Structure 1
């Protein structure tokens, strides 16, 4: 048997085993993180929820989720931690944002925890926690940012493009057969009509207002104070603290200490990582990384999918 056939057979077997494991086991909380100096997974009182990358509602692969930005997986981790009776959530956010609905879904789940339980929620910002990333964080009782963190970018965007001048130069004509006037809205092959601009601006304005209302509900800030800061501009963590978009400066360890204080945890807090990948997720990460190495265009193809989702809380 040729070597390439043997390799293909091994890959198929691994895929089947990974899919079976994901179907049987689902996404479950993993071992306790090394952040905690003591305790066991079953007695952890702080749940670490990691949110990395572009937040979205995309489905998992047969290998599970290959990152910590899938809103469904994040919500499932939040619910499991709540069910386990933890006293605090530590959200570690390193995200430029994501789609509007996915960011909103995580925010709503956190606010439900905040309103229905005594669990304390502290957000810790990494390199970036902007737009949809800040949307999610605004559900926390307390936000900790590094002084150099990039945050803010409060706003909503719908991208448009018109390729018709280029297509005209090379002699390409396009057309549509559509069921209604606006079925091809956001077509890249023509200019937006006045009616389409009105529709899209209405969507952006409504989503933007929802974003502002969420921040006002989660943060100790009025709409009048927030609006001048919510024009899409970005801030360093230090600047964000000055305008009350974050509460204090520090790293993840500082955020953990704050979570323990708010939750009145005596002694050293015990942390359990509810976002740590299981074996099926690790396989997904492995194969995703392998594809990026052998197929240089793989990442570009993955990112191209986001152009099909017009409403975004990231830039």
Structure 2
């Protein structure tokens, strides 16, 4: 309770001070207490002093093309944010390589495919070298995106794989039965409301959905085959959609190297033929003190020491609407 009261006091003090200064005419600024995607991207150097640059783009969390309206701030959708980075990099002739730092269990099928497509088009237009480095998790849609890279590296403790599709369909019919509620549906065809959360799927609907899942999974597997040239044994293994450690992924041919982030930087310098003093840069919407490679944020999301709600926990829960996902989702049964 005392923690909540201190947080409330902090908010009250900030709003009171701001109101006083504005009303008294002392200041007339645009005040942004909780920065969001409206702030422009700016370049910050993390390492090096040369003219030629390596850009790090973090891809972290659930892959979606939708913005997230979280408590106290609005988070830009991942597709919009990554494409904004690519568009800015394309205008800078000194950007000679891009390193995608991926830490994601995946996300929606379409958002994953859009990012893969946009990254490939960026490579074609700019001619830069592109390296993907997997951090904690780069599974399903996270791995799908990495297929756009010229080289794929995995952190020694990375988890990857889960090459497949899952169809998520929330179902509240049991709860509605207990509460005595029902939904009246009038439809033009027997499958018009398939996927409805208000009733169980029919055998025919289950067969249709499984066909769609198999088709989308086939697209994913074909892309892996095209980009990675795996052995028949490896292709059979990954078709089970299981996850792998970095060493298993290297053995199967899903990744090219195992190493740390600084190893990935050195590999990027070598592949792009850059001098050792090449600058490693990031695009951010806010400046950070003591910034480094491991910072995955592009903007500060709020005031420090105000933890009315654990925002990181809220962000970790994807918007589970009915749909098809390239997503590793532990805890789901067959």
**Fold-level match, TM-score > 0.5?**
yes
CA contact (8 A) 1:55 1:132 kept: yes
Shift of residue 189, structure 1, vs aligned partner: 2.5
Does 2:196 align with 1:187?
Answer: yes
Could you tell me which residue of structure 1 aligns to residue 240 of structure 2? 231
In structure 2, relative to structure 1, the CA distance for the partners of 1:171 and 1:148 (3 Å cut) is: same
Tell me the equivalent position of 1:133. Answer: 142
1:40-83 Cα offsets, whole Å, 9 max, x none, are xxx3421111111111101366998647x611110121122122
Higher strand share: 2
**Within 5 A, what are the aligned runs for 1:243-258?**
243-258=252-267
Instruction: Give the structure-1-normalised TM-score.
Output: 0.80
Q: Which residue of 2 aligns with 1:286?
A: 302
Alignment gaps of 5+ in structure 2: 1-10, 23-27, 288-296, 330-334
Label 1:122 to 1:199 Cα distance change in 2 as closer, same or farther (>3 A): same
Aligned residue pairs, count: 301
Deviations 1:116-166 (A, max 9, x none): 443111111111111110000111111111221111111110123544344
Alignment of 1:144-155 (within 5 A): 144-155=153-164
Over 3 Å counting, the alpha-carbon distance change for 1:55 and 1:199 in structure 2 is same
Report deviation, 1:102: 1.0
| Equivalent-residue separation in structure 2 for 1:286 and 1:117 (angstroms) | 35
Spell out the pairing of 1:1-315 with structure 2 (5 A cutoff).
7=15, 10=18, 17-18=31-32, 27-32=40-45, 34=46, 36-39=47-50, 43-59=51-67, 66=75, 70-85=78-93, 86-178=95-187, 180-221=189-230, 225-274=234-283, 276-278=284-286, 282-283=299-300, 285-286=301-302, 290=306, 293-295=307-309, 299=313, 306-314=319-327, 315=329
Q: Distance in 1 between matches of 2:311 and 2:265?
A: 39
Secondary structure, counterpart of 2:135 in structure 1: strand
TM-score, normalised relative to structure 2:
0.76
> Aligned Cα RMSD in Å?
3.7
Note the alpha carbon deviations across 1:10-43, whole angstroms, 9 max, x for none.
Answer: 59x9996449x979x75424211x2x2323xxx3
Contact 2:170 2:321 in 1 (8 A): no
More helix by share: 1
Q: Which runs of 5+ in 1 are unaligned?
A: none
Cα deviation, residue 112, structure 1: 1.8
Taking the aligned partners of 1:138 and 1:289, their CA distance within structure 2 comes to 39
**Aligned-partner Cα distance in 2 for 1:18–1:270:** 31
CA distance in 1, matches of 2:266, 2:312: 40
3-state DSSP class of the match of 1:144? strand
| Aligned partner of residue 107 in structure 2, secondary structure | coil
Question: Would the alpha carbon gap of residues 237 and 5 (structure 1) be closer, same or farther in structure 2, given more than 3 Å must change?
Answer: closer
Q: How many Å separate the matches in 2 of 1:128 and 1:277?
A: 25
Query: Rg: which structure is higher?
Result: 2
Partner of 2:291: none
2:83 & 2:257 partners in 1: Cα distance? 26
Contact 1:90 1:123 in 2 (8 A): yes
In the alignment, the residues of structure 1 paired with residue 126 and residue 231 of structure 2 have an alpha-carbon distance, to the nearest angstrom, of: 24
* Residue pair 2:73, 2:302 contacting (<8 A) in 1 also: no
Gap change, CA 1:298 and 1:237, over 3 Å in 2: closer
